[in-house]
Amino acid sequence: MTAPRALLDRLWSAHEIVLREDGSSLLWVDRHLVHEGSHHAFAKLAARKASVAEPELTFAVVDHYAPTRERDKGLAPQIAYMIDTLRKNAANHGLKLFDLRDPGQGIVHVVGPEQGLTLPGLLINCGDSHTSTHGAFGALAFGIGATEVAHVLATQTIWQKKPAAMRISIDGELGPGVSAKDIALNWIARLGADGAQGHAIEYAGSAVRSLSMEGRMTLCNLSIEGGARFGMIAPDETTFAYVKGRAHAPRGLAWEAALNDWSELASDEDAEFDRDIHLDGSEIAPTVTWGTSPEHAIPVTSTIPDPETLANGKAQAVRDALDYMGLPAGHPIQGTPVDQVFIGSCTNGRIEDLRHAAAVLSGRRAKVSGLVSPGSALVKTQAEQEGLDRIFIDAGLEWAASGCSMCVGMNGDLVEPGKRCASSTNRNFRGRQGPGALTHLMSPAMVAAAAVTGTITDVRPLLKGRAI
C-alpha cells in the first residue's frame, strides 16, 4: 500500500531530478516563459557567456511594456528599448517570440494557456509572480526571480523546496454576479495577504468544478496575493476541452497518451493536507477592496472598517491605508465615487471577463472614463467577433490593444495621482497603477457597474433580467 498522495505530491515527484540533503529539490522545467522584464536574467546569462539550454521550451512574450494605444509610432525611448532588448535576446537565443504584431501576442499568463503551451502535468516557470495562473490546468506553476530565470535559461531546471499542501474547498452555488474574483478576495481577506505563505494551494469543491477555465485561472492567478506561490486545480473534462486543438497542444497519438497521463492528476480521496479551508460559495457576495492590500477586501454591501474599533496592532495599518485611500472610516463602501475604470490584466482580461462586463454595460452609458484592454490579441479578435467592442465603445469606454497596461502602468497607461480607479486587476498596492493612484479591486462585472453609476456599486440589481 502506498501512502495517499495529493496532486502536489504527484506533480512534484514527476519533476524531481535530485533531492538535496537540505530538502531542496532540483526540478525539471517543461515550459519557461519570458517577457521584457526578464532583461536582468539575460544579462546574467551573457555575463557567464552561457546559452539557453532548451530554446524550444522557452517562449518570449511582449506584454509588460506593450503599448495599448499607438503601437507604431512615438514609443517612449525607454519602452522601445525594453521591447527591443527582448527581441534581441529572443533572436540571439533562438526563442519563439510573440511580438507586438503577432496574432498570438498578449499577457504571458493569457498567452500560455491560449496557445496550448500550458498543459496539465507540466512544470511552468516565468519571472512573474502570477505564474500561479497556469496551475488552473493541474500544472506545477510558480513565479521566480531574475537569478532563478537565468538558472532556468541555463539549465532548464530550478531548485525549489517542496511547499506544504493546503486545500481550499468551495462548495455551494455562487450567486448571480459572483465570480472567481470574489471567491479569491474572500479567502485572502479571511486568511490575510500572507495567509498561505509557504503553501501550495489546491482548490477543490463543487463551486470550483463548475468554474470555466477562465474562472479557474482567475482563482489560481490570485493565489500569490494570499502569499502562495502555487495554486492548482485537478484537471477534468473542462480542462481537456479547453486544451484540445490549441496551437502547441499535443495531437493524435500524443494527445491520447496525454489524456491517459492526465487522468492520474488528482489528489487521492484520503490525501492529507497540512491545512484545509472551507468556504460556502452561496455566502459570497460581490467583493471590493477598500485599502492598499488585497487582504483589505469586504462585501460591497458592507462598511469600511473603523480603526477605532480595532486592536492597536491592526488599527495603525488600517488608519494608514484609509489615509492613503482618502476614505472615511465606518461608512458604507457602496456609493464611493470613482474617477475611472479599468478592465484587463492576467487576472480578468479573458473573453469571459469581457462578456461579464459587457452584460452589465450593454445599452448603458458609463458615467466615468475607462479603458478596456483585452488580455491578448486573440481575446480582442474574439470579443470583436461577438460585438463586445461595440458595447464598450457605445458605453463611452476606450477599446485598446492587449498588454499588461494599467495593471502596472509600465507602458504609460497610468492612473493619475489622487484618482480613484475601479479595476479588474490584482494589486491595490500604493502607487501600483501609477504614483498616488487609488485602486479598488473587483470583478469585471463590478467594474462595469462602477462605470455605469460612477460609484462603487453592487452589480446584482444591474443584472436583473440579464444573462451573465
Partner 1 sequence: MSGWTKHSGQAVALPFHNIDTDQLIPSRFMSTPRSEGYGRFLLHDLRRDESGSEHPHFPLNRHKDTSIVVAGRNFGSGSSREAAVYALVDAGIRAVFAPSFGDIFSGNAVNNGLLPALIQDADFELLLRALGDASRPAHVCLDARHISIDGTTIGFQIDPGRRTKLINGWDDIDLTMQHAAAIGQHKRRLDSHAPWVRPVTERTGS
Considering only residues 368-397, where is the footprint of partner 1 by CB under 8 A? none
428 binds ligand SF4 (CB under 6 A): no
Cβ of 18: how many Cβ atoms within 10 Å?
10
Residues numbered 265 to 304 that lie near partner 1 (CB under 8 A) are 292-293, 295
Q: CB-hemisphere CA count at 13 Å for 289? A: 36
225 binds ligand SF4 (CB under 6 A): no
Return the SS3 of 344: coil
Give 28 or 306: the residue with its C-beta nearer to partner 1: 28
Stretch that binds partner 1, among 103-111, 282-290, 339-347, 428-436 (CB under 8 A): 428-436
Burial of residue 70 (number of CB atoms within 10 Å: 0-12, 13-18, 19+):
exposed
Least separation in angstroms between residue 376's CB and ligand SF4 is: 11
Least separation in angstroms between residue 463's CB and partner 1 is: 32
Task: Report d(CA 322, CA 119) in Å as an integer.
Answer: 42
Give 107 or 184: the residue with its C-beta nearer to ligand SF4: 107
The full DSSP string for 283-310 is: GPPPEEE-SSSTT-EEETTSB---GGGS
Residues numbered 86 to 115 that lie near partner 1 (CB under 8 A) are 96
Stretch that binds ligand SF4, among 158-166, 193-201, 290-298, 404-412 (CB under 6 A): 404-412
- Does residue 357 contact residue 228 with C-beta atoms inside 8 Å? no
Give 346 or 463: the residue with its C-beta nearer to ligand SF4: 346
Q: Return the residue of 297, 404, 447, 463 that touches ligand SF4, per CB under 6 A.
A: 404
Q: Which does 345 bind (CB under 5 to 8 A by kind): partner 1, ligand SF4, none?
A: ligand SF4
Please enumerate, as own/partner, the contacts of 13-18 that have beta carbons within 8 Å and a separation of 24 or more.
Answer: 14/121, 15/123, 15/140, 17/157
Least separation in angstroms between residue 409's CB and ligand SF4 is: 9
Give 222 or 358: the residue with its C-beta nearer to partner 1: 222
Q: Which does 214 bind (CB under 5 to 8 A by kind): partner 1, ligand SF4, none?
A: none
Taking alpha carbons only, the member of 40, 45, 31, 39 closest to residue 62 is 39
Q: Return the residue of 69, 97, 154, 303 that touches partner 1, per CB under 8 A.
A: 154
Give 305 or 370: the residue with its C-beta nearer to ligand SF4: 370
The x, y and z cell numbers of residue 74, run together, are: 512615438
The x, y and z cell numbers of residue 54, run together, are: 532548451
- Does residue 185 contact residue 148 with C-beta atoms inside 8 Å? no
The x, y and z cell numbers of residue 337, run together, are: 465615487
- Does residue 345 contact residue 404 with C-beta atoms inside 8 Å? yes
346 binds ligand SF4 (CB under 6 A): yes
407 binds ligand SF4 (CB under 6 A): yes
Q: Which does 255 bind (CB under 5 to 8 A by kind): partner 1, ligand SF4, none?
A: partner 1
Residues numbered 349 to 378 that lie near ligand SF4 (CB under 6 A) are none
Q: Return the residue of 1, 22, 49, 465 that touches partner 1, per CB under 8 A.
A: 22
Least separation in angstroms between residue 335's CB and partner 1 is: 27
Residues numbered 113 to 132 that lie near ligand SF4 (CB under 6 A) are 128, 130
10 binds ligand SF4 (CB under 6 A): no
Task: Report d(CA 432, CA 356) in Å as an integer.
Answer: 25
Q: Which does 346 bind (CB under 5 to 8 A by kind): partner 1, ligand SF4, none?
A: ligand SF4
Residues numbered 32 to 91 that lie near ligand SF4 (CB under 6 A) are 63-64
Task: Report d(CA 133, CA 215) in Å as an integer.
Answer: 10
Per residue, the 3-state secondary structure of 80-141, as one string, reads HHHHHHHHHHHHHHCCEEECCCCCCCECHHHHHHHCCCCCCCCEEEECCHHHHHHHHHCCEE
How many residues of this chain interact with ligand SF4, rule: CB under 6 A? 13
Beta bridge partner(s), residue 232:
202
In the complex, the residues that contact ligand SF4 under the rule CB under 6 A are 63-64, 107-109, 128, 130, 345-346, 404, 407-408, 426
